[in-house]
Amino acid sequence: MKKIVPFVFLFFCVAKVYGQSDFDTGFLPKVVLSTKVSDKMNWVHSAESRAIIYDDKYQFSHNLLDLSSILSLKTNLNQSFNFGYIIRFRNSEIIHRTFQHYNFVNQFSSIKVGHRLAFEQFYQTKKQTTFRTRYRVSAEKPLNGERVDVKEFYIKLGNEYLYDFKANDLEIRVTPNLGFKASKKDKIEFGLDYRLGRFLNNNTKNNLWFRTTWYISID
């Protein structure tokens, strides 16, 4: 964790320097439902909405809705592969996305560090297929003890990099969250999702989202 904090501080300094262009903020509520298909396979569904409360027009608007379905295959204790599909409704547009994830986790005493490498494909009517890759690292730590028990809080810090091949550009994300394990079947996380887009083109776009995610297991 001590190695991550200086990097996050440096990131926000860079964001302050480059973040001179567009800025949007709003809410990102999300619900995630997971069920166990077998000992090594899970089926995960989610719904995420985006509402903008501040932009260059100073008006509230509902921006998009994402519905996703993911098949997660665990290959061993620390590694897994995800294969999924997302349909996005954005204003009058419908965007289809397929993706593939490789995930692995390292446990260091009370800190769990997760890595995800992803490839994504976007499909729209009358538009060229676009491709994106992304890498995310996250660290999770209980506030009490060495593991998260029921009725206990934990913190999670994420850092992600997304590269768009068509735009030849990079987006950087930082996601600090506070989580609470309500029961053996569900947990909820509250936090921020800061995104610095168009990083390589020097025409940066800043987004700050207030995120709430409810994870529910329906085994």
H helix or E strand, kind and range, residue 6: helix 4-18
Q: Please, which pLDDT band fits residue 189 given cuts at 50, 70 and 90?
A: very high
What is this structure's pTM? 0.86
Q: What is the pLDDT of residue 219?
A: 76
Q: Mean pLDDT over residues 28-46, rounded?
A: 96
Q: Mean pLDDT over residues 18-26, rounded?
A: 68
Q: How far apart are CA 22 and CA 197, in angstroms?
A: 10
Buried (b) or exposed (e) across 9-32, using 16+ Cβ within 10 A? eebeeebeebbeeeebebebebeb
Q: At residue 146, what is the residue type?
A: E
Q: Please, which pLDDT band fits residue 10 given cuts at 50, 70 and 90?
A: very low
pLDDT in tens, 42-62: 999 999 999 988 766 656 677
Chain mean pLDDT for the chain: 88
- Is the pLDDT at 2 greater than 60, yes or no? no
Q: Mean pLDDT over residues 61-90, rounded?
A: 93
Instruction: Identify the weakest region by mean pLDDT among 4-8, 92-96, 131-135, 200-204.
Output: 4-8
Count the alpha carbons within 13 Å of 218 in the hemisphere toward its beta carbon: 10
pLDDT in tens, 130-166: 999 999 999 999 999 889 999 999 999 999 999 999 9
- Is the pLDDT at 121 greater than 60, yes or no? yes
- Is the pLDDT at 7 greater than 70, yes or no? no
R_g of the chain, CA atoms, integer Å: 18
Do the Cβ atoms of 99 and 87 come closer than 8 Å?
no
Q: How far apart are CA 152 and CA 146, in angstroms?
A: 11
Q: What are the chain's domains?
A: 4-217 (2.40.160.40)
In the chain, % of residues over pLDDT 70: 88
Q: What is the pLDDT of residue 58?
A: 57
The DSSP letter of residue 56 is T
